[in-house]
Amino acid sequence: MAYTRAAAFAPATVANLGVGFDVLGLALCEPGDVVIAERRDTPGAAVRLIENDGGILPYEAKKNTACVAAESALRLIGAPSGVWLTIQKGLPSASGLGSSAASAVAAAVAVNALFGEPVERAELLGACLDGEAVASGYHPDNVAPALLGGITLATGLTPAQVHRIPVPDRLHLALVTPNVAVPTAEARAVLPKLVALKAMVTQTAAIAYLLHTIYEQDIVAMGAAMERDGIIEPARAHLMPRLDEARRAAKAAGAYGLVISGAGPSLVAICDDAQQASTVAEALRHVYDTSGIGCTAFATRVSEQGARVISSE
C-alpha cells in the first residue's frame, strides 16, 4: 500500500566505541531526528521545511543529507513520483551523535514507508550512505546502527558487510554534549596520515578485545577496552574541552570507562545499571556547568530497533 504522507524517526548514534574508528557504532534510544515525506508530482526530493536547526542546515537538495538520501531511496525503489521533506531536528549538528546520519536514515526510511515499504530495511543502507557522504564521507559507523539498531560492526559498505553485535543485557550509557561544536571535517583533519606498525597491532588487538568483552557481556572490561584507543583520541583530545576532568568525574561516579562519541565533543560513559548511569550523567553535567561551558547530559540505553516508521497515511 502506498500513502500520501509518512514520518520516520532515526536515533542518535555513538560511533567508534573508542577503539573501533569508522567500523563500530551503536544506536541510542533517544534523542533523534524525524523526517516527514509527502508526495509531490515533480520527480526527486526537495526540502519543504527544516525545524529546530537554528537556521544552519541547507535547503539546497544536493547539500542536504536527508534530501540526498531521499533521492537515492526514490531511485532504489523506482518511485513513480517525488517527495517533499520536512526535517525535524532533535540532534545538534557537530555534536558527535550522528546528526547527519540520523537525518539521512530517517529520510530514506520515510520515503520507503511512503511507497509501501517495497524494499527491506537493510537495502536502504546505500541510500543512507549517499546522504551521509554529503557531510562526512562514506563510512557506516553512524548510519548502520541508526538504520538497523543495536551495536554494529561494519567491514564494508554493503548490507552483507554490516554485522549486528549482541548488546550486553546490563549495558547502560551516560552521555554529555558540551555546548561547543566540533565539525567532523575538523576532527578528521587532525588525524595522523600514517600509523606506525606497532600502533596498528596494538589498536587491532584492542578492537578484538572489545568485541570479546561485548560477547562476554562483561561491562567492566568493556569500559576499559573502549579506552585503549592509542591513535584517534590522542589526536583529537585537544578538541574536547575538559576531557580528562570528565573522565575522572565519570569514574568517580561509578562509570567503567569514558570515550569520545564519534568526532565529539559528546562523551559517552559505560555503566551497568540505570541509577549508575543517571549518577554519572549528573557528574558529567556538573563538570561543564561549573566550568561555564554548559552542556546537555542524560542517561540512556542502546536501541535494538534503530530507525522506525512513526506514521503513514
Phi/psi for 203 (5° steps) reads -70, -40
Is the CATH number 3.30.70.890 carried by domain 172-300?
Answer: yes
Give domain limits for the chain.
5-165+303-312, 172-300
Q: What is the 3-state secondary structure (H, E, C) of 238-294?
A: HHCCCHHHHHHHHHHCCCCEEEECCCCCCEEEEECCHHHHHHHHHHHHHHHHHHCCC
pTM given for the model: 0.94
Q: What is the DSSP letter of 192?
A: -
Separation between Cα atoms, residue 151 and residue 27, nearest integer Å:
7
Closest CA to 284 of 256, 310, 255: 255
Active site residue 296: no
Q: Which of 71, 117, 132, 233 is catalytic?
A: 132
Q: Which of 65, 184, 213, 300 is catalytic?
A: 184
Q: Would you write out the chain's pLDDT as a tens digit for each of its 313 residues? A: 678 999 999 999 999 999 999 999 999 999 999 999 999 999 999 999 999 988 889 999 999 999 999 999 999 999 989 999 999 999 988 899 999 999 999 999 999 999 999 999 999 999 999 999 998 888 899 999 999 999 999 999 999 999 999 999 999 999 999 999 888 788 889 999 999 999 999 999 999 999 999 999 999 999 999 999 999 999 999 999 999 999 999 999 999 999 999 999 999 999 999 999 999 999 999 999 999 999 999 999 999 999 999 998 8
Q: Which residues partner with 50 through β-bridges? A: 87
- Compute how many other C-beta atoms are within 10 angstroms of the C-beta atom of residue 143: 36
3-state secondary structure of 11: strand
Annotation: CATH topology of 5-165+303-312: Ribosomal Protein S5; domain 2 (3.30.230)
Active site residue 117: no
Separation between Cα atoms, residue 94 and residue 311, nearest integer Å:
28
